Amino acid sequence: MATQTVESLIEGGKATAAPPLGPALGPLGVNIGEVVAEINKKTASFKGMQVPVKVDIDDETKKFTISVGTPPASALIMKEAGIDKGSGRAQEEFVADLVIEQIIKIAKMKEDSLLGKDMKSKVKEIIGTCNSMGIKVEGVKAFDALKMVDEGKFDKEITAEKTELSEEEKKALEEEKEALQAELAEKHAQEEAKAKEIIASMQGKERYAIVAKLHEAEIHDDVINKLLPVEVAEGEAKEAPAPAEEEPSEEPPADS
């Protein structure tokens, strides 16, 4: 029994007969509408994320099976946290907070591709990813949450593989996320205003001198690069000049 395989990256719940999926399936004689419907059913929980999908089709019967991979852990974390991106200053600023049930949920979704030998180890892998994204876990820095896992604080939830949250818990997490983001927006606005004052006071100075002053005032590089972009003329080379070649001596060589 020969089979043909079609693999594609699909937005969760939004597969269509358009490229790239439709043209790849068409020559194989399979019912494209049924395939699309089944893919959308299987990927509905990944709405807004790109999901790897594999369709295996029997050459004779035209029956098909669909295997759905999972998005990267970072994408699942952002979806669970309700954010579009992680923190640009992951160890300094935090954009959201997840509870252990959400971490377990993501660990279960990624279970087959994580390295940990048990659920506790897999949970720690997901918390490690939160650490690099500026996302708290159970109200503390992810690094501290890892210590709490090692101490057995969440053993009951992990053993039970608890993933459900009450409406009250969901509401509290949403309110905390909004408060964190409002706090960051205010902090960044104040930092940018301070940077603009320094730049205005040093008008006419070399960029390196202004940057040094901004660093002294603890202005972050992303603000500096936004307000003082490095402009390089098109095609201009920034290479050091080659050393001048020595001119040959006009004196005849000494007699030996």
Q: Is residue 20 part of a domain?
A: yes
The total number of structural domains in the chain stands at 3
Residues 88 and 153 in one domain: yes
Choose one of 143, 165, 187: the last residue of a domain.
165
Q: Is residue 249 part of a domain?
A: no
Q: Is residue 240 part of a domain?
A: no
The string of DSSP letters for the chain reads: --EEEEEEEEEBT---SSTTHHHHHGGGT--HHHHHHHHHHHTGGGBTSEEEEEEEEETTT--EEEEE----HHHHHHHHHT-SS--TTTTT---EEE-HHHHHHHHHHTGGG---SSHHHHHHHHHHHHHHHTEEETTB-HHHHHHHHHTTTTHHHHHHT-----HHHHHHHHHHHHHHHHHHHHHHHHHHHHHHHHHHHTTTS-HHHHHHHHHHTT--HHHHHHHS-----TT---PPPPPPPPPPP-SPPPP-
What are the structure tokens assigned to 134, written together?
Answer: 């500026």
pLDDT, mean of residues 65-70: 87
Lowest mean pLDDT among 17-21, 53-57, 111-115, 242-246: 242-246
Q: Is the pLDDT of residue 34 over 80?
A: yes
User: What are the pLDDT digits (tens) for 123-136?
Assistant: 999 999 999 999 99
Domain around 153: 73-165
User: What are the pLDDT digits (tens) for 106-115?
Assistant: 998 888 788 8
Residues 64 and 7 in one domain: yes
Residues 79 and 155 in one domain: yes
User: What are the pLDDT digits (tens) for 206-215?
Assistant: 999 999 999 9
Q: Is residue 200 part of a domain?
A: yes
Q: Is the pLDDT of residue 243 over 70?
A: no
Q: What is the CATH number of the domain that holds 130?
A: 1.10.10.250
Residues 48 and 7 in one domain: yes
Residues 60 and 79 in one domain: no
Q: What is the CATH number of the domain that holds 35?
A: 3.30.1550.10
User: What are the pLDDT digits (tens) for 72-92?
Assistant: 899 899 989 999 899 988 888
Q: Is residue 94 part of a domain?
A: yes
Question: Taking all residues of the chain, what is their mean pLDDT, rounded to a whole number?
Answer: 85
Q: Is residue 245 part of a domain?
A: no
